[in-house]
Amino acid sequence: MDQALQVEASGGLSGRGCFDGRSGDITIYPDSDAASGDWDIFLASQMFRTAGFEAILDTNLDEFGTAPAPLRCEQAAFYTGWYSLGHYNDTFSWNPGAIGWHLDSLSATSPRTSDNWAGGALGRGIAVTTGAVNEPYLEGLPHPDGALRNLLEGMNVGDAIFRNTQWIRWMIINVGDPLYRPFAGGRPLSQ
């Protein structure tokens, strides 16, 4: 909560976005089934870049921190990626107020320990995360493209994640200040 207040008082979230897809050139696949996760990640990276931020999009099977993927994501403000079941790869330096989550079935099994993505990220300084305590299937996880769009429009974290989660209160937990507005005045989504 302290990070959220600090970021809101300083004019908004700053830093880069790190987006970890898996399918190479996603544009050759339809936005359905497993490819929909990569489409969400790809579209979120494009929105973040369009809003004036640096966005790093990795599209190979290896996750951030594992070559040939980028080895680090420094000054991260926003992250989304997949799929490292129940594991946090400590490759980020989180800016104050950072928001991020991993699309995997066990990403938040225990937010108080570092043996899952959400717990590891919280232990390393992320301000807001969301994830699954058990298998929600891809369609049950919060959609990063829609949530990021709503955040860039000026919405608070709680509403942005709520609007972009298909099944409320089913296998998903959210951690962080739900009233936090990282872009209170909104950011233009076109330049």
- Encode pLDDT of 47-72 as tens digits: 999 999 999 999 988 889 999 999 99
For range 15-21, the mean pLDDT: 96
For range 116-120, the mean pLDDT: 93
Average pLDDT, the chain: 92
What pLDDT is recorded for position 100? 97
Strand partners, 55: 17
**Span of 37-46, 105-114, 116-125 with lowest mean pLDDT:** 105-114
For range 22-31, the mean pLDDT: 88
Strands 172-175 and 129-132: antiparallel
What pLDDT is recorded for position 115? 83
Indicate if the pLDDT at residue 23 is higher than 90: no
What pLDDT is recorded for position 155? 97
For range 104-126, the mean pLDDT: 91
Indicate if the pLDDT at residue 191 is higher than 60: no
Q: What does the domain layout of the chain look like in residue ranges?
A: 2-175
In whole angstroms, what is the distance from residue 153 CA to residue 3 CA? 20
Long-range CB contacts (within 8 A, 24+) of 21-26 = 21/57, 21/58, 21/59, 21/81, 21/82, 22/59, 22/60, 22/61, 22/82, 22/83, 23/59, 24/59, 24/60, 25/59, 26/59
- Global pTM? 0.94
Q: Where is pLDDT greater, at 112 or 77?
A: 77
